Amino acid sequence: MKVTVFLSPHWSTLQEKALTLWSESGTETLMIVPTTAMRSYWLSVLAEKMKGVSGDTVSVLDYLAYKLASSNANGLFRLASVLERKLAAIEARSELTLPEKWLSSGVVEAFLNAVEELEFHDLSPREVQTAIPDDPTIQVLTHWWEAWREILHQRGLWSLGDALRVAAEKLQKSEVAPPKVQRVLVYGFTALTSARWNFLRALLEAINDDDLRVYFFMPSNSNNPTAYGYSLPLLNRLKSELKAEVCQLTDRLPEEIQSLPALLFRRHQEKGSPKLTDRIVCVSAAGEEQEVEMAFRLLVHWRREGQLKRFNDALLVAHSLEPYLPALEAVSARYGVPFVIVNEPIRRNKGLTNLLWAIWNARSTNCDGEALWRVLPSPHLCHPSAPEKPLLPEERQKDLLSIVRQRLAETGSRQWHEILKISFSCEQFVEFVADFLRTVEQIPLHAPTSEHVGKWREVLRFVRPICERDEEALQRLRKQLNSLVFWSAELSGEEFVSLLTEGCVEEVKEFSDAVRVANAEDARGQVALVAILLGMADGRFPLPPPMFELLTDKHREILTERLNLTTSLRFRRRPRKFSFAASFAQEQRMLFAEMLGIATERLVFTHPRTDPDGKPIARSIFLDEVEDALKAAGYIWREEERDLADVVLPEEVKDSAALPQGLKQAIDTREAVVSSFFRAFTGRVELMDDEKALVGATLRNENFRQRLLTEWQRWSNPQEGQWDGKGLEIDVRLLAERWKEKGLRVTALDDYGHCPFRFFARHILSLWQPKEVTYAIDPTTWGSVWHKIVAEFLEVFVQSNEFPDIAVLRQKASEVLESDPTMSQIPQQVRQLLRSRIESALESIWQAEKIQAEVWKPVKVEKEFSLPIGDLGDLPEVFREVKLVMRPDRVDVNPKGEYRVADYKTGSPLSQKHIRNGVFLQLPLYALALQREGYAVKRAILLKLLSFTKSRDYSTGCDLTAEVKNRRSQMEIGEAIATAKSHALSYLRQMTEANFTVLPFSLSDSCRYCDFKSLCRRHPLRLKERGEELGEGEE
C-alpha cells in the first residue's frame, strides 16, 4: 500500500487532480468523503466528466462504516436518526433520577453533543467514568449515556459511534469483505477522530495489496500553519503511521484569489500603491435582506456583462442559513432569480406546518375565538365523510368568521356548537366543525409520545391535500407519526408538534439554472466561479464557542492524558502539552480558509454593518484578515454599499434606502426606471448615458407621463390641487341632505380643525381602519368602557336624587363588562386584565364623584342636544338647516342654580390652547347649545378620569368659566364660545367650497394618531402646517 497526500488550499486544484487519477483507473476506484453534501457534489461532477458512475464508488465515511457493520450483524440494526437519538435521550432521562439542574432547557442537546464527541473518540461510558471518578457532572453524564445506549440497542438502533466501532472490529477480524478496488481517494478530510481513524485504517489494511494506491486530498497550505493548523495533526499522522508522501499541488488561478491562502492570518506590511481589483468585492449593508439583495444584484450585473454564464456557477455561503432563508425567499420571489439549497432534497411545507401550529394553538387556548378565526378558514381542512369539500363552505366563511370575531372570548367545542346551531340551524357543516373541534380538544397537553400519536392521527383525518406537493407532504407526515408510535418519552404538546413538523416536508422544485446556496459545512469541497460569503459579522463567522457544554476543557485534558488519546477533543482553548490538540478557534479559521478555497474567479464578502433597525454590528475579524492579506499582495478590494438604516430618515427607509446605486445594481426593469428617475430628479449626481436613455424612453409612454405629471404637481405645488383634496368636484347639496337627516357631530369639526383631509376620509368617505386583535388594552376601548360605567352610575344618582353607595358603582361596572359588545371582541387575557384594572380603580372614582356631588348635582347624563348651524352666524343657504349634534357626558347644577357642562377624558389632556387653535371646539359648543336651550351655563370643564388631586377629587383641564381667576388654567367662557364659533364658521364655509385640502394643524400632533396618514403622502418636506400660518394659541 502506497499513500500519497495532495495539498492545496483551493478545492478546484484538488478536484482537478482527483479527476485525473480517477480517469486513469476507472471503475476500480473508491472515493471516501466526510459529508453527504460532498458525496452529492462529486456524483454530479463524475456524471458530467465521466459520463456517469455507480453510486457505491463515492461513499461517506460514516455510512460506509454502517454498511459494513450491518452486513454481518447479529440481529437487525440501523442507524438512529436525529429525532430517534433525541427521543431516546428524553426517555432515558425520565427513567433516571437526575438532579433538578439537569431538567432545564437545552440539556438534551448538550448531552447529545457531549456523547457524540466522546463516541467519536472511541470512548465508552465506563472508560470515561473510570478516568474521572469523582466528578458529579461526569457521573450523571455517564449514567445517562449508558441508559441512552441501552434504549437504542433495545430498539435495534446504532449511534454513529457504534457503527464505526463495530465496522472496525469486523474488518480487523476479517468478518466482512471490504470493497475490491485498486485505488482509494480519501477526499476533503481535515481531521479524523479516533473512531473514524481506526475504521479507515482497518479498511485500508483489509483492502491492502501490493498494487493498492491511497491518495488523500487535503485543503491545506504547508507554508501557512497559522491558517491551516487544524489539519496538521492529521497530516503528521499520515506521514508517521502510513509513511505518506506529501505533494503540494500548483494552483493556476487569478493572482488575487491564489495569493490569499498563503498570506491569511499572518502579519505583513502593505505594499505601496495597491491596485483595485474587481475580482474581490466587499459589500456593506443593513440586515440580511440587503445582504442577499446586493449579492443577487452583483450576480445579475456580471451575467449581463458575460462574466457569469449561469447562475449555477455561483455559490452563496453562510455559516448558518437559518437567518437568511426568509430573505432568500423574499428576494428570489421579488426579482425572479431562483435559488437551490445544497444538500436539501426536501423543504418544509409551509402551509401544512402553519396549519399544525394553528391547530395546536387552538388546543392550547381551549378553542377560543381568536385561534378558531385563524384555523377554520384553512383550505386544508375537511370532514372525513366528505374529503372532497372544505370543512367550511366558501359561501359561509364570511358569516361564520364574523360571528367568531364577535365572540373571540368564547371557548370550548360545546359552546361553539351551540353558537353555530343558533346562527346556522339545520346546516351540515355545523356538525362537521363541531366534530373537528371535539377532535382537537382530545389532543393531550402533556403525555407519552404514543398517546400524542393516536390523537394526532385522528386530527389528520380532517386534513386534506390541495395539490400534489401537499399529498406528498401528508404522506411524509404520516410516516413521521408511524416512526414515533413506539416511543414512550413524556412530551408536552408543543414539543410533540415541533417533532411532528420535521416530517412536514416536500421535494424541492428543480431548476435548470439557479443560484446555489449552502451553509459552511455543506459548502466544503464545492467549486464555483463566484463564491459569496454572507454574514461576515462578529458573532456570525466565526461563531462564538457554545454557551452551554457538559464537557469542560478540564475534563478534556484529563481524558486525553489518562486514556492516552491520540486525536483532539473539541477544546475551547488549545492545551500546549498535547501537540495534536486543536482549539475551537483553529477549527473556525480552517473552515473559513476552506470557504475561500471555493472560488476560482471572484470572491464576494457581505458585511451587515447594521441590523435592519440601524443598530451597529461589528464586522468579522476574518474580514480584517482578508483585507490585510490582500493589501500585502498588492491589491485592494472593490467596495459596494447600500444606504444603511442608521443614516436614513425613517420615512425614507422603504424608498431611497431600497434603491440600487445605479443601473448596474438594478435587478429588473422597474428598479432601473425608479433608480434612474430618482437620480434624475434629485440632481445629486450626474446621470450616466444609459440612465439618460432609460429616462427618455420611459417618458415616451403617455400613461406614465400623465402619472408622473400628477406626482410632480403633488410635490411642486403641494396643497394646491385636486391631488391633495382642494377644489374637489363634490356637490355640497348632497352633503347637506345627508347631514340634515343624521346631523353633523360636533367632534367632526375637531377633525376638520386637525386636518380637512381627515374629515373628508372619515365623515364623507366613511373610511375606517379595522382594529387588529392585540394583547394590549386599546385606549379607545379603555375610554369607552369607563364612560359607560360612570354614565350608568350617574343615571342612578339622577333618578334617586341621592348619591349612590360604592356597591352600586361596582354593580354597574360588572354589568357593563358583561354586556358591552366591545368586550367580546378582545382576547380573554386582555379582558381579564381590563377587568382587574377597572376594579382596582373603582374606589378612587367613587370618592372623586362623591366630592363632585358636594357642589354639582347631575341633571342630564349623556343627553343628546342639537344646535342649528345657522345660529353660528352667516353661512350659505345650503347649510343653514343642518344641525350640529352633540352628547355631553353630564350637565350639572349647583345650589345657586348655575349650570355646568362637563366631559370626561381618559386620554391626553386638552387645554384652552387647543380651543384657540381650532382643534377642540367640542366643549365651548356644548356650552353654546345648552345656553340656547335655556340653561344658564356658567362653566364648562374637562374631568380627567383616573387622574386625581391630593384631595382625591378629579384633576381638571380646559376650565371655561364666567369668572376667570387664573388665566393660565382658565378661559372666559364667552371668549371660548366666540372663538369656537369663528373656527366653526370658517370650517363650514370651506366645506361649501368642497375644500378638503391636506392641511394638518401640526404634523407632530395632528398626524400622530391619524388613521389616514398613509393616504396623503405626509412628508415634512411636502406639507406646510396650518399652525405655521396662524401661530399656535397661547396658554
Instruction: Give pLDDT tens digits for 86-108.
Output: 889 988 888 888 887 777 767 88
Q: What is the CATH number of domain 275-345+511-544+595-647?
A: 3.40.50.300
Q: Nearest-CA neighbor of 373 among 830, 773, 781, 831?
A: 773
For Cα atoms 612, 616, 618, give the angle at the middle one, nearest 5 degrees.
Answer: 120
Q: Cell match 471518578: residue?
A: 133
- Sign (positive or negative) of CA dihedral 687, 690, 692, 695: negative
Q: Nearest-CA neighbor of 687 among 675, 699, 669, 670?
A: 675
Beta-bridge mates of residue 187: 217
Spatial distance between the Cα atoms of 560 and 142, rounded to a whole number of angstroms? 17
* Contact between residue 443 and residue 362 where contact means Cβ atoms under 8 Å apart: no
What's the grid cell of residue 15? 478536484
Q: What is the side-by-side order of every strand in the sheet holding 314-318?
A: 339-341, 515-519, 314-318, 528-533, 599-610, 275-286, 635-641
3-state SS string over 245-300?
EEEECCCCCCHHHHHHHHHCCCCCCCCCCCEEEEEEEEEEEEHHHHHHHHHHHHHH
Task: Enumerate residues 6+ apart whose C-beta is below 8 A from 389.
Answer: 382, 383
Q: Which helix (H) or strand (E) holds 703?
A: helix 702-716
Around Cβ 968, how many Cβ atoms within 10 Å? 9
C-alpha pair distances (Å), 834 with each of 409, 817, 954: 13, 9, 21
Spatial distance between the Cα atoms of 782 and 833, rounded to a whole number of angstroms? 11
Please give the backbone phi and psi of residue 43, each rounded to the nearest 5 degrees, phi first. -65, -40
Amino acid in position 711? E
- DSSP letter for each residue of 571-638: BSS--TT-TT--BHHHHHHHHHHHHHTTEEEEEEEEEEEE-TT--B-PBPHHHHHHHHHHHHTTEEEE
Please give the backbone phi and psi of residue 865, each rounded to the nearest 5 degrees, phi first. -120, 160
The helix, strand and coil proportions of the chain, stated in percent and rounded to the nearest 5, come to 50, 15, 35
Task: Enumerate residues 6+ apart whose C-beta is below 8 A from 249.
Answer: 6, 7, 8, 13, 14, 17
**Helix, coil or strand: residue 209:** coil
* Contact between residue 886 and residue 862 where contact means Cβ atoms under 8 Å apart: no
DSSP annotation of 668 reads: S
Spatial distance between the Cα atoms of 230 and 756, rounded to a whole number of angstroms? 71
Spatial distance between the Cα atoms of 108 and 91, rounded to a whole number of angstroms? 11
- DSSP letter for each residue of 103-147: GSTTHHHHHHHHHHHHHTTT--HHHHHHHSTT-HHHHHHHHHHHH
Q: Is 75 exposed, middle or buried, given 0-12, 13-18 or 19+ CB atoms closer than 10 A?
A: exposed
Q: Nearest-CA neighbor of 517 among 321, 289, 348?
A: 321
* Contact between residue 368 and residue 552 where contact means Cβ atoms under 8 Å apart: no
Q: What is the pLDDT of residue 649?
A: 40
For Cα atoms 717, 720, 726, give the angle at the middle one, nearest 5 degrees.
Answer: 150
Cis peptide before 542 (omega within 30 of 0): yes
**Helix, coil or strand: residue 511:** coil
Give Cα 304 distance to the centre of its chain: 33
Helices (H) and strands (E) in the chain, counts: 39, 28
Is this structure's pTM higher than 0.75?
A: no
Q: What is the pLDDT of residue 83?
A: 84
Spatial distance between the Cα atoms of 609 and 586, rounded to a whole number of angstroms? 25
Q: What is the pLDDT of residue 1021?
A: 65
C-alpha pair distances (Å), 561 with each of 128, 198, 688, 922: 12, 19, 69, 86
What's the grid cell of residue 220? 491545506
Strands 346-348, 505-507: pairing is antiparallel
Amino acid in position 248? Q
Q: What is the pLDDT of residue 612?
A: 64
Spatial distance between the Cα atoms of 329 and 760, rounded to a whole number of angstroms? 40
Around Cβ 264, how many Cβ atoms within 10 Å? 24
Q: Which helix (H) or strand (E) holds 447?
A: strand 446-448
- Collect the ranges in the chain with pLDDT lower than 50: 644-657, 1032-1035
Amino acid in position 739? W
Beta-bridge mates of residue 956: 943
Beta-bridge mates of residue 941: 902
What's the grid cell of residue 21? 487519477
C-alpha pair distances (Å), 381 with each of 10, 352, 357, 664, 1012: 52, 10, 14, 47, 37
Spell out the CATH class of 2-75+162-252. alpha beta
